[in-house]
Structure 1
Amino acid sequence: MRYVFSLLLAAGLLTAPAAFADEETEDTGPSKMEQGLQLFMDGLRQEMAPTVDSLRDWAERAGPSMRSFMEEMGPALAEMMDEVRDWTRYYPPEMLPNGDILIRRRPDPVPDQPEGEAPADEALPEGGTDI
């Protein structure tokens, strides 16, 4: 008896969407949500148009020089990527006034020192506060 009731309930739930489908087909236009989304997207497209245009102009100007850079520097960058396993061990690159680019390595952590504790030579003076 319980199985019959479960089957009838499942059949009723499966046929319920078909019973309401006729009511939904009367309205053939887009819903209010679809209209609102369309208006939002149109406004966003209009607001973003100047930025997209300037980005396109920049890409057209920078494209040839970027292509040349990758042709010349690509192999060296690939070698460097193979050598460096952990980029967190390096400071961000800095450019010197003469145009040289330095990528400095951070000091290795002291193995005897627990993480989060300042090394002895960098200890705070008495009464000092670590912020």
Structure 2
Amino acid sequence: MKHIVLPLTFAALIATPTFAQEADQGPSLMEQGLELFFEGLRDEMAPALDDLQQLADEIGPAMHGFMLEMGPALAKIAAEVDDWSSYEMPEVLPNGDIIIRKKPTEAEQEMPKADGQTDI
């Protein structure tokens, strides 16, 4: 839903001055309301956007270094994995190793586990 609303919102912001110019009248009540709404939204979002910019400035260099070092390895892994939904969440072991287990298929889930004995 957000993917549709955001482009429509920007289209409305861009189109608003055009409609006002074509009508040779002042902006309609709808246009005035839309302007006030987006002005309020801008004012409310400004502190959050400033905080986000500050965070990006702080972690940007570290992320850049991480991507330079780990980027090729992550690209190799991404090329080998066809469907990420067939894997469990990564698990970090006490020694620092990271394990990403493959989820069991339906056939593996239905198969009973062997208890070490064989029926004859």
Aligned mate of 1:43, from 33, 40, 44: 40
Q: CA deviation at 1:48?
A: 1.0
1:1-131 superposed matches below 5 A: 25=23, 28-110=25-107, 119=110, 121=112
2-side partners of 1:30 and 1:93: how far apart? 55
2-side partners of 1:119 and 1:38: how far apart? 60
Query: What are the ranges of 5 or more consecutive residues in structure 2 without an aligned counterpart?
Result: 1-21, 114-120
The number of residue pairs the alignment matches comes to 92
Which residue of structure 1 lines up, in the alignment, with residue 8 of structure 2? none
Query: What are the ranges of 5 or more consecutive residues in structure 1 without an aligned counterpart?
Result: 1-23, 112-117, 123-131
Higher helix proportion: 2
- State the identity %: 54
Q: TM-score, normalised by structure 1?
A: 0.60
Q: CA deviation at 1:105?
A: 1.4
Q: Structure 2: which amino acid aligns with 1:95? A: V
2-side partners of 1:53 and 1:99: how far apart? 35
How large is the RMSD of aligned CA atoms in angstroms?
Answer: 2.4
Structure showing greater radius of gyration is: 1
